[in-house]
Chains A and B, each alone.
Chain A
Amino acid sequence: MKIPNVTMLPGYLVEKASKSKFIKKQAILGVISASTAAQIALWSGVSKDAVGCYYYVTQSLKNEKIPEEKRKFVASLDLANGILNVLVQTLLGSAFAKGVEKYFNNNIKESLFSKETAEKKIKKILKYNETHKNKPKILPDLGVNPAESAENLAKYIDKDIKKLAKKEGKAAAGFAAIATLIITQVIAKRVIVPLIATPMASKIKAKMEKNEAGKSKTSPNASQQTDSTKVAANVSKSDKAKTPKCFKNFR
Chain B
Amino acid sequence: MTAQMGERLFYEGDEHSMCSTPLSGYFALGGECPKFGQFCTALWRGYVGSWDIQNDRLYMVGLQGTLEDGTEANLETVFPGYPDRVFAHWYSGEIRIPQGKLLNYVHMGYSSTYERDVFLTFEKGVLVAKRVQENGKADDYSTSEGYSSGAWTVFPAPKKDGQ
A and B bind: no
Binding site for B on A (CB under 8 A): none
